Amino acid sequence: MTPRLDVHVIGGGIGESIVLHLPSREWGVVDCYASSVTDASTNPTIAFLQERGVRHLEFVCLTHPHEDHFRGLKQLLDAFGVRAFWRFGAMTPHDLRLLAKRSHELNMVSVVEPIRRHCIDAEKAQCVHFRMISDSSSGARMTFDGVEVDADAVVGEVGGGQAVLDRALRGGRTGAAAELVGIGSASMDMTVDDLKQRKQFGKLIGEFQALQFRAAHLYSELEIARAATLKAQQLLDEGGEDAEPMVSVAKAKAGRASLLAVQEGVQMHGGIGMTDEYDIGL
C-alpha cells in the first residue's frame, strides 16, 4: 500500500488544531489551541495523540501570534518529545514581542525554554536556520550537506547558470525596490497626517517651516526613487540591455529614500514615534 498523508482536524473554527500523520508514519502538529480553561489533561489534541500511542513528534508548527496558541504549544512540548519547531505564516518576531508584552501568564521564556528542553538534536536535524532581519521579518540560511544532484536537474545549459541567476536577481531586486518605495511612502503619509493634526504652541506643527522643509525634501527623494523603480520595471519588461544598471540604481535609491522616510517619520512624530501605540513605531 502506498504511504499517504492523513490530516486530522481537532476542533473547528476558533480553536482548531491540525494533526498530520506523515507518509513516513511520523506525526506533526500545526497550531495546538488551548483556551484559558484548558489544561493538558483536557486538551483534545494531546488526548488524540496519546490515544494513538504517540510519544514523539516530528515537528510542531505555530502560525498564530495568540496567547491561546502559545498556551497549547507549551502543553504540547511538555507532553511529547519534538524534533523540530517551526514558525510560519503571519507570525513575525514583532508579533512575539507584542505577545510577550501583553501576556503576563505566557511570556517568551515559557515558550522558548520548553522548545530548548524537549527538541531532540534540533540544530542537527534541520537544514534551515531562521533568523530575524533588520525589518523584523524573518529570513533563513539553508545548508546543504551531502546532496547529490542528477544531470537532468541542470537549469539551462551547463556553465550558463549565471545568466539565469542574474535574471532572477534583477527581478527580485526590482521587487525589493518597489517594496521599499511603498514602505517609505506609507511612512511619509503617516508623518504628513501627523503634521496636519498635532498642535504645539497653539499652532499645527505642519505650519512650522523647518518641518515643511524636511517633508518637502523627503517627498522629492521618494519621487526620485519611485521614478527609478518604474524605469527599472519598464526596462525589465522590454528586455533592454541597460536594465541591470537601472535595477541597481533603483534599489540603491529606494533603500536610501525609505531609510530617510522612516527615520524622519519617527523623529517628526516625536516621542510617540518610538512606541508601539502609533504604527510609525512599528
| 167-211 pLDDT per residue, tens | 889 999 999 999 999 999 999 999 999 999 998 888 999 999 999
DSSP 8-class letter at 127: S
| Alpha carbon distances (Å) from 29 to 16, 22, 124, 179, 261 | 11, 11, 20, 33, 41
Q: Which fold has domain 161-281?
A: Butyryl-CoA Dehydrogenase, subunit A; domain 3 (1.20.140)
CB atoms within 10 A of CB 222: 22
> Which of the four pLDDT bands, split at 50, 70 and 90, describes residue 259?
very high
| 201-252 pLDDT per residue, tens | 889 999 999 999 999 999 999 999 999 999 999 999 998 778 999 999 999 9
Q: What are phi and psi of 238, to 5 degrees?
A: -80, -15
CA dihedral 248, 252, 255, 257 (to 10 degrees): -130
In 5-160, alpha helices (H) = 44-51, 67-79, 93-102, 108-118, 122-125
Look at residue 122 and tell me whether its pLDDT is greater than 60.
no
Bridge partners of 138, per DSSP, are: 132
Over range 49-56, report the average pLDDT: 90
Look at residue 136 and tell me whether its pLDDT is greater than 70.
no
> Which of the four pLDDT bands, split at 50, 70 and 90, describes residue 14?
low
Bridge partners of 198, per DSSP, are: none
Q: Among the ranges 7-16, 56-65, 100-109, which has the highest mean pLDDT value? A: 56-65
Decide: 68 and 106 in contact? Cβ < 8 Å: no
Task: Return d(Cα 169, Cα 272) in angstroms, integer.
Answer: 38
Look at residue 33 and tell me whether its pLDDT is greater than 60.
yes
- Judged by average pLDDT, the poorest of 103-117, 119-133, 134-148 is 103-117
Q: Which three cell numbers stand for residue 215?
A: 517633508
Task: Return d(Cα 140, Cα 93) in angstroms, integer.
Answer: 13
Task: Compute the residue count for the chain.
Answer: 282
93-102 and 67-79 helices, crossing angle to 10°: 100
Q: How many CA atoms lie within 13 A of 267 on its CB side?
A: 11
pLDDT value at position 140? Answer: 63
Q: Among the ranges 25-34, 120-129, 142-151, which has the highest mean pLDDT value? A: 25-34
* Stated pTM of the model: 0.54
In the chain, alpha helices (H) = 44-51, 67-79, 93-102, 108-118, 122-125, 161-197, 209-238, 243-269
Task: Return d(Cα 36, Cα 17) in angstroms, integer.
Answer: 16
Q: Which residues in the chain are classed under CATH 1.20.140.10?
A: 161-281
Burial 66-88 (b: 16+ CB within 10 A, else e): bbbbbbbbbbbbebbebbbbeee
List the one residue out of 72, 77, 83 whose CA is nearest residue 24: 83
List the one residue out of 222, 124, 119, 233 whose CA is nearest residue 173: 233
